[in-house]
Structure 1
């Protein structure tokens, strides 16, 4: 009974889920609603009659488990691809910046280092009076 009727039921149900108009939405969301699979299974009861109710429930759960694991793998792969795409966009923007500026990468790096050292110098001079003030405050607490 399982091999003759239930396996074809599961295969047909998998096929119908993949052809559903909301499949793209489910794919982005990463899960398929159980009610949707149950609704798709209802007309299949007439095509594959005479099975116990637990077989239909088993087919629905099997399809849900199969798709949910597949969708989780797809989402993981999508995140990896998106991360690599962001990295390529950064590299591409660096290349475009070099082309637009008409400078070499070494010139841009040196200028960035100069700006960073200027900012560090400003921060250290601004924090120095605060450090001296802190020392005087600590000394007044001691006395």
Structure 2
């Protein structure tokens, strides 16, 4: 079923590339940097494009999403509440039973090694729960 016009012909990775270019500001730079860290942590990660424009990363199940807002780039870990966060990166969605998020604002720096460790931990958690379909 073709519901998205020409977007159906573009790969999720290409759509994410376009979103980063469209943002054209610190949010695009931040999303690009975090995406790069995700790929460094999990070279076999699968990128998807969901919910009318949200980058999503999968490895044996959903790892995280990358939403952009006016004042933040939000990386939401699907099973973040089950992950250890010794560096205290999670700073949003802390009250839920399942998800946890990292809100990055203009000028913020993210501990790259701690972020990659969270990505790897999320993949390990997914793998421990058995194989899942991506997307």
Question: TM-score per shorter chain, which class?
Answer: under 0.3
Largest Rg, 1 or 2: 1
Q: Which one has the bigger helix percentage?
A: 1
TM-score with structure 2 setting the length: 0.26
TM-score (normalised: structure 1): 0.25
